Amino acid sequence: MKITREHLKNIVKETMIEESEYQEFFKKALEKAGKSIPAMSDDEKKAFFNKIEKTWNGRGKKNEGNAFGAAVAKAKKDGDSKFKVGDKEYKVERFGRGDETELDELTKAQEKLPPALKKAIEKKEDKKESVDESLNEGFATWEMSFADMNLNGVKLSKKNKYKVKARNTVEAIKKAAKMAGLKGEDWIATQTNYLKKIG
């Protein structure tokens, strides 16, 4: 399967949305823990990250707890071409997986399956897409800025723009975080103001 430029753009867009959701999820979990990561003992860190991984991986594909994910799911289900989250309006995009009716019927049929089987089907679909994506993804130049925040003594600002060469959005965020002065795994707790592929 060859990935078109438009399909790749959509994959990147989805990845950016998921990364943003993960960063928000991680930030809330860290606030709930009541301690910064450096202030945690080794056992507390292990328990914290195990809980993060278990909760994030168990959230399912639909992201019902997330306003954006819920709005996308509702718009797709209702057959709408656009949806709103907050003050912004977004276009519903479907990526070449055949006839829309067939996709909806398949989804309805999958709803009747046991949860374990649904999860196995989702994993298999994700694996196919990630193999195809990794074969066609090369280095690109990314421009980004972080949201205004202070993270372990490093002040991040929307005004500071970083240009990096990276294979994907995650790598771009990691490199930009390092350029901003963050150390180790602190990049995970950052919030992206914008991230744009410029070349």
Q: What is the pLDDT of residues 83-129, one digit of tens each?
A: 787 777 777 765 334 444 444 444 556 566 677 666 776 776 666 55
CB 160 within 8 A of CB 174: no
Q: What angle do CA 49, 15, 79 make, to 5 degrees?
A: 120
Q: What is the mean pLDDT of residues 11-23?
A: 82
Confidence of residue 156 (pLDDT cuts 50, 70, 90): very high
Separation of alpha carbons 176 and 190, rounded Å: 10
The residue among 112 and 152 whose pLDDT is bigger is 152
pTM of the model: 0.34
156, with CB counted inside 10 A (0-12, 13-18, 19+), is buried
| Structure token pair of residue 175 | 């490199």
| Structure token pair of residue 111 | 């709803």
